[in-house]
């Protein structure tokens, strides 16, 4: 469950970055490999922040690793963070946004993802999304 404000007794185990990569009103979703945590679900480019790494640096790295896109930091806008509480652990989830002027070729990492799709945020809400991504889409796109 996501929270806009830090819940009482919140003990973050790690930080995660994510990005709504958008082009022409559609966002890029990546289909997770079955063997990955929450496998066979759809998500946006995202990943854990390594110790000592800045969140923006992590976001640039994750986008490049998961899509092949080389985006400069100036093209990423920080939307904000939410506090995620799962029964097993808590973490901080940072959201970014970028709007591409033209659709780029997506080169997915076969170890992490098995497919990708450009889809409207509204249609994305009908898909089998990674846990709580629906709430983040609604928060960002005010759906």
Domain 2-141: state its class. Answer: alpha beta
Domain boundaries, the chain: 2-141
Contacts of 73 (CB under 8 A, 6+ apart): 56, 60
* Whether 44 contacts 20, CB under 8 Å: yes
Alpha-carbon distances of 76 from 18, 72, 98, 114, rounded to whole Å: 11, 7, 5, 25
Question: In terms of pTM, does the model score above 0.85?
Answer: yes
pLDDT by position in tens, the chain (length 143): 999 999 999 999 999 999 999 999 999 999 999 999 899 999 999 999 999 999 999 999 999 999 999 999 999 999 999 999 999 999 999 999 999 999 889 999 888 999 999 999 999 999 999 999 999 999 999 86
| CB-facing half-sphere around the CA of 130: CA atoms within 13 A | 24
User: How many whole angstroms separate alpha carbon 56 and alpha carbon 68?
Assistant: 17
């Amino acid at each position: 469950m996501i929270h806009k404000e830090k819940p009482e007794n919140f003990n973050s185990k790690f930080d995660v970055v994510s990005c709504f990569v958008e082009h022409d009103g559609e966002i890029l979703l990546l289909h997770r490999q079955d063997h990955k945590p929450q496998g066979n679900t759809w998500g946006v480019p995202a990943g854990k922040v390594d110790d000592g790494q800045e969140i923006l640096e992590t976001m640039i790295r994750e986008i490049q690793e998961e899509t092949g896109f080389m985006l400069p930091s100036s093209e990423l806008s920080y939307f904000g963070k939410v506090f995620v509480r799962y029964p097993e652990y808590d973490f901080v989830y940072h959201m970014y946004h970028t709007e591409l002027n033209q659709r780029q070729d997506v080169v997915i990492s076969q170890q992490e993802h098995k497919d990708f799709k450009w889809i409207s945020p509204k249609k994305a809400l009908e898909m089998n999304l990674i846990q709580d991504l629906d709430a983040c889409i609604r928060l960002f796109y005010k759906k």
